[in-house]
A and B are shown apart, each in its own frame.
Chain A
Amino acid sequence: MTMFARLLMQSFLRQRRRKLLAWLAITLGVAVATAMIGVATDIGDKMNRELRQFGANIVVTPQDAGLNVKIGGLDVAPVSEHGYLRESDLPRIKTIFWGNNILGFAPMLSTRAVAIKAGDQSFDAPIVGTYFSKQIIAGKQSYTEGVRQTHPWWKVAGEWPRDDSTEVLAGEILAARSGWHAGERVKIGGHEALVTGIVSADAETNAQIVVPLALVQQIAGQPGAVGRIYVSALTKPEDDFARRDPRSLSPADHDRWYCSPYANSIAFQLEETLPNARAAQIRQVAQNEGRVLARISGLMLLLALAALIASGLAVSAAMATSVFERRGEIGLMKAIGAGRVAIAALFATEAAALALMGGLVGFAAGSLMARGIGTAVFNSRISVEPATLPIVLGIALAVTLAGSVTSIRRAVQLSPAIVLRG
């Protein structure tokens, strides 16, 4: 064993307590840095999913439809002006380029007021048909689609209806007015139906009866028709590039635009895929989503940066202390003829060894922390990319060496006589 290796070994063996403290500082610093990097890089995706709580961000309507003339759920548009989309085209939504980013969709078809009978009550009310939670087969995969995905704020007192039945939901205002409760048997346009729940949604829906799509198609005499489709998609916040008109882009730019999950490009792909469709982002949801997302990710990124700098400083401080404590040793080495380079190399190697050990353990601990935060807050894991390990180790090494450098230089410059005298 060379003298150098022996010095190194002995240094670790004899000063276990001090080495442990320095190692602890590095480990904790790396752990925090790793956890914060993990959280900051993944928070955008996590929050994007949370923001889908605001509901659909893209709406698809028939191209040939006239103006939508509805107030308070009552539709007075002339029948001739109603264009329709086809229910059989719906599975195609999942086959677009960004199909995996489509978290859910719900087709809607509403009618003019329909005769409702319940016991001795009889009145007219608008009805709307949709999927509640319907199994759809697209390609080889099966998906569950409907308002429970796209309208998560709908709250049902009672049970959700089944899609292949004559079970319906009554809007809460309509239910209160007619004194209905879950379990009420009603007749809608001549069809027997069972109210399984009372829904609290938006003002329009609260005054309607919500029925399975197939039932409203029968009542309206429009088999296979869909009036509009609400689509909830994971999108990238809109920037200047996203707002460009795809027709005016160069082929290369067009590909880049098409292959970015902007709300606009997903809407564009929906228009391509669905015949007679006009797709547009719902700006209230889509625009604000981008703003909120940008704020939260920006905040987390800056937090991560602050934590990174702070742990760097803490590690540097710990290293400065540990070198400073060993002035006597350095003096002795110099007195018996060690060169400056040899001494500096010894200390640098020690620091590097500490940094690597602390970095590895800290990376593991930090990944666990990030995972813990993910599970605690979002109910899904935040995973730290293994590819960041070399980067984290490199930073740990650089910070540790940087912290030691000044102290080593100062220690080496001291005259051994002064140091040894105490």
Chain B
Amino acid sequence: MKQRDRAWRGRMFVRMLWRAALVRRSRTITALAAMAIAATVATALLNLYADAQQKLRAEFRGYGANLVVTAKDGEELGSKVVSELLASKEFRAVPYAYVIARTANDLRGAPVVVVGTEVAAAKAMNATWWRTSPVGGDLAMSTEIAGAMFGERAFKTLAHGSAPVELWFAGKSLSVLPLAALNTGGDEDDRIYVDLGALEKWTKVSATTVEIATDGTPEQIKATMARLRGQFPAANVQAIRQIVEGEANVLAKTRSTLLLATSIVVLTAALCVLATLLSWVLDRRRDFAVMKALGASQRLITAFFATEASLIGSLGALGGFALGVITAMAIGRASFHASVAPQFMLLPVMMAAGAGLALLAALAPMAMLRRIQPAAILKGE
């Protein structure tokens, strides 16, 4: 008997909730909508906050290398160190060897810095600021001639159209064919870039520097440096401070701006929801009074309103979360051309926050209403 009674009460409770939502449909919808809007904004901003920094860090890799490994005291690095660095899956690395060659086999020849590197990899690492343009050289099938990328000024000074240029180093010569001109506005403009293998064969000089572009927070970059120092005790591992510190600074500022903007918007959204829900609860004073007049206990009434509020809060938050993720993805695509990964960990947080907010809005006036006699409300005072 008692069990049936409890089951009946349970059904009645659900029915009351359901009817309350249906009968006051537009009020329910308004409350839900307010909750959903707030949750949308909060979700979108929090998603962006989490992901935008990573996207921006990737953007900063356009500056090129942020670490440089050199041999101590101007020695060569050794092929073992170079090949181990180049084989890393964790970061991109490009080797460099430098010689000063002349355009003739005596001191009358003009000196020029010739750089041996993996030209394609170097171009890829510095894609945003290495501007190359073809200059018409066509690489014939000959082992005697090497293709070269000429810095813009080196090309203007030393090359004659697309004819091969003879370079001398320690009594040995190499013919290089200008394939492309490179413009950076920096020292690169005055140099000639050839394949590292060709340079090694010609001058017997091998790589002295490996430039590394690694992605990560300042702490992660420090950890990578420490690991490389341990792995190659004979080499100097240094951060390119210009790049690393500039990046850290700009990212920190962006993060603070995003964080402040996000918290202001989320806080405001929460306050607006609180205001809407408060008026929704105050509007239900009559229901409250009728229930009390019919003999409902204070506990039952509180439980009823609490359930209703937390349902509205969490359902609104659920809908808002979905909309927010879509918004964040759209913003991510528009500003980074890459979609923002949804943070599903946020979902339970948002739902709990929604329910909490709604409970706060429901239970605060409840304490106030408890003292009022139902008769007074019902009479319309």
Interface positions of A (Cβ within 8 A of B)? 18, 21, 24-25, 28-29, 31-32, 35-36, 39, 43, 46-47, 50-51, 53-55, 59, 66-72, 76-78, 151, 153, 155, 200-203, 280-284, 286-288, 291-292, 295-296, 298-300, 302-303, 306-307, 310-311, 313-314, 317-318, 320-322, 324-325, 369, 372-373, 376-378
Contacts and interface: CB of A to CB of B under 8 A. Distances in A.
Interface string B116-134: 0000000000101111000
Given A32-B264, A72-B74, A296-B56, 19 more contacts: A21-B275, A24-B271, A28-B271, A32-B268, A51-B250, A54-B63, A59-B186, A66-B157, A67-B110, A67-B154, A78-B111, A153-B241, A155-B241, A201-B241, A283-B130, A283-B131, A284-B129, A299-B331, A307-B265
A318 B279 CA distance: 9
A151 to B, nearest CB: 8
A153 B56 contact: no
B257 interface: yes
Contacts of A369: 264
A50 B280 CA distance: 47
A292 B26 contact: no
A31 B268 contact: yes
Contact of B245 (A32, A153, A318, A320): A153
Nearest to B101: A69
A29 B272 contact: yes
B59 A292 contact: yes
Nearest to B243: A54
B276 A39 contact: no
Contacts of B68: 203
Given A25-B272, A69-B111, A295-B56, A286 B279 contact: no
A203 B238 contact: yes
B310 interface: no
A317 B100 contact: no
Given A25-B272, A51-B250, A288-B128, A299 B186 contact: no
18 contacts: A28-B268, A32-B265, A36-B261, A47-B253, A53-B250, A67-B110, A67-B153, A68-B187, A76-B111, A202-B240, A203-B238, A284-B63, A286-B129, A288-B63, A307-B265, A313-B37, A318-B276, A373-B264
A18 B283 CA distance: 11
Main secondary structure of the interface of B (DSSP, over half): helix
The secondary-structure label for the interface of chain A is: helix
Interface in B244-277: 245-246, 249-250, 253-254, 256-258, 260-261, 264-265, 268-269, 271-272, 275-276
Contacts of A32: 264-265, 268
A303 B241 contact: no
Interface residues of B, number: 78
Given A71-B113, A284-B184, A302-B331, A54 B246 contact: yes
A169 to B, nearest CB: 15
A245 to B, nearest CB: 14
Contact of A373 (B245, B261, B279): B261
B185 interface: yes
B104 interface: no
Nearest to A279: B185
B129 A288 contact: yes
B167 to A, nearest CB: 13
